[in-house]
Structure 1
Amino acid sequence: MVTSEGSDKAGKNQELALQRLPTTAALEKVLQVLESNSPLNLTPITNFVRQEFISRISFFENKTSKTWLFRSFVKLGIPPLYLFIALSIILGTMIGNMYKRSVYLLCNLVGVVYPAYKSIQAIDLLSATSEGEVSNSSIVIINEQKQWLTYWAVYGWLQVVDYWSTWLLEMFPGYNLFKLIFLYWAQNNRSRGATLIFEKILKPLLQKNIQNYNNKIVSSSTNQKQRQTLRQRQQQQYNGNELYHQQQSGSLTSEPTPEEIWRRDTVVTSRESEIKPYRLNNNV
């Protein structure tokens, strides 16, 4: 009973969602007709279309239907289905004209606007976590940082490659179109191409280079310690040889004791007393 009630509620929620999104509902009906009338099993193909295309159309339609301009046209009596199709055609025409007239501007808009928005969201999520407003979101933060930091690194390298864009366009006429598709794939929240680039390409390369760098640091520090130990041994050996030569030549003298100093001073005083009368007689 619980399972049936849950499935009924899910079905009703889906029907309500399709009523609010007439374009998505129309496309869903087309897929259902194809599945029911085709002699072949088209379920894998239709499921792929649902996941990759209709879900994106549904997302875009949902965002568009919440705008003030769309609601204003609906209040005027224009059907939402036709209105959404018209807006999609207008938007596609504008993008096509921009691609023909200024493909560089279009590539920059596609490559910067949405990623900048998502990067700001990632920063807000990180600040909220540091303030304790969000709990158990460390994995989400790490994934977002990995996604967008890698994306900006890839986008920066594409900007460097654009220096040779004239030569690339001569060799590959579809370079700009390929760049647009690649940027969309890298930043899309479903494909998360930037994360895939990091996991499959950058991470193994970085781990290999970091390991080599650490090995070089360890070997250099070991060699430095060995050289320092060798210098200390050589210095000790040199000091020992020097001390030995000084002892052999008799140049090494120990400091006099207080008794020796007293005796020396006594001898000097007695000699001075003996020599003083002689000096006085000679002066006279």
Structure 2
Amino acid sequence: MFGYLLYKIVCNLAGFLYPAYASFKAIKANDTKIILPWLIYWIVMAFFTLGEGIADSLIFWFPFYYEMKILFILWLILPQTRGAAYLYDNYIDPTLTFHQKEIDSTLGMAQEKATSTGVEWGRHGLATLQELGQQIIKGRTSF
């Protein structure tokens, strides 16, 4: 149990806290050559985190899983290995570019649906509040 907690802390420090601070410093430097590798890292990390979340129940029990995860995160981050750039250039960019129109269309439909649902819920909520207000004014409802 202690080992698991320690590995989670190290993974989160290496995978999120250090890159977040390095990204902050890159933005402050306002240099695209410094910002771009961190932006690529966050894209790769988003896909990794999504994949890991889906496969978690299958992979967490692999021997040395957390040790391999820490090494993988270091491989992604270190400028000597440029792991995030490798994965982005060879897998993520070509895949997203190939499916970009479908993804944009799906996201557009989802945004429209979310907007219309939000408006519908808002109207329903407002009508309910108005009805409740009228009942309170008439003295039919008490708290």
TM-score by structure 2 length?
A: 0.57
Q: List alignment gaps of at least 5 residues for structure 2.
A: 106-143
Q: List alignment gaps of at least 5 residues for structure 1.
A: 1-97, 127-139, 218-284
Q: 1:204 to 1:191 in 2, by over 3 A?
A: same
Q: Which digits, 9 at most, give the CA deviation of each residue in 1:35-88, with x for residues without a partner?
A: xxxxxxxxxxxxxxxxxxxxxxxxxxxxxxxxxxxxxxxxxxxxxxxxxxxxxx
Of structures 1 and 2, the larger Rg is shown by 1
Amino acid of the residue matched to residue 167 of structure 1? L
> What percent identity do the matched residue pairs reach?
27
Distance in 2 (CA, whole Å) between partners of 1:191 and 1:116 is: 19
The residue that corresponds to 1:148 in the other structure is 38
**Equivalent residue runs for 1:263-282 within 5 Å:** none
What is the count of residue pairs matched by the alignment?
A: 101
Is residue 10 of structure 2 the alignment partner of residue 120 of structure 1? no
Distance in 2 (CA, whole Å) between partners of 1:159 and 1:104 is: 13
Q: Tell me, yes or no, if the aligned pair for 1:99 and 1:106 is still in contact at 8 Å.
A: no
Distance in 1 (CA, whole Å) between partners of 2:6 and 2:91 is: 32
SS in 1 for 2:79: coil
**Equivalent residue runs for 1:76-155 within 5 Å:** 99=3, 101-126=5-30, 141=32, 143-155=33-45
Distance in 2 (CA, whole Å) between partners of 1:123 and 1:207 is: 26
Runs of 4+ in 1 over 6 A off after TM superposition: none
Is residue 79 of structure 2 the alignment partner of residue 189 of structure 1? yes
SS in 2 for 1:102: helix
Distance in 2 (CA, whole Å) between partners of 1:149 and 1:190 is: 17
Q: Tell me, yes or no, if the aligned pair for 1:169 and 1:175 is still in contact at 8 Å.
A: yes
Greater RCO structure (CA 8 Å; 6+ sep):
2
2:49 to 141, 159, 179: 159
Distance in 1 (CA, whole Å) between partners of 2:38 and 2:95 is: 19
Q: Tell me, yes or no, if the aligned pair for 2:37 and 2:85 is still in contact at 8 Å.
A: yes
Distance in 2 (CA, whole Å) between partners of 1:121 and 1:193 is: 21
The residue that corresponds to 1:173 in the other structure is 63
Distance in 2 (CA, whole Å) between partners of 1:158 and 1:207 is: 18
Amino acid of the residue matched to residue 96 of structure 2? L
Q: Tell me, yes or no, if the aligned pair for 2:76 and 2:83 is still in contact at 8 Å.
A: yes
TM-score by structure 1 length?
A: 0.31
Q: CA deviation at 1:158?
A: 3.4
Q: CA deviation at 1:100?
A: 5.5
